[in-house]
Amino acid sequence: MLIFVRLWCIKLNQNSTMHSFLRSRPRRRAFSLVELLVALGIVCFALVPLLGLVPVGLASFRHAMNLNAQALIFQALSSESSLLDYSVATNSASAFSQSFPRFYDGTGARLTATRAGAVFEVSLNRVAFAAPGGTASAANAQKLGFSLTNLSGKEKTQIYSVVVVNNGN
């Protein structure tokens, strides 16, 4: 019995030292409600303007994509018309003239057969060309006007002109 009491006292001493160790250790506390509200207010004050700029950024991105597609379309039309024979450029019954109106998608790629999925429409207008100081310039040059219309109706029609000259062929 004496051994049991002695072991029990040793165990009691161990528990008391363990208990005093837990009491002497500083307790960790969470943030107070005021601290949380101040931090949340600062974060909201910074995030609300950023979230407000998202629609503006998306609209700017869409406008930039449209400008890029228009530039690609006008570049392709300029390249094609610069390779034209003068007789083809002046003839309204030519295959080139009959291929208008043309339709393009949002990336500037030409749609061949259908208007479905088209974002841009390009029409051809022949414009009288008059060079400064020249009177007979209409016989030697033809001005082709390309009107690009955004079918969504949110942007103005863009007009691009190319002059095709008679190089004697």
- Between CA 138 and CA 134 the distance in angstroms is 9
Phi and psi of 18, rounded to 5°?
-65, -40
Residue-wise pLDDT for 79-100, tens only, equals: 998 888 888 888 888 888 888 8
- Between CA 24 and CA 67 the distance in angstroms is 70
pLDDT confidence bin for 1, thresholds 50/70/90: low
Residue-wise pLDDT for 121-163, tens only, equals: 999 988 777 777 766 556 778 888 999 999 887 778 889 988 8
The most distant pair of C-alpha atoms in the chain lies apart, rounded to whole Å, by 133
Backbone CA torsion sign across 131, 135, 138, 140:
negative
- Between CA 167 and CA 149 the distance in angstroms is 32
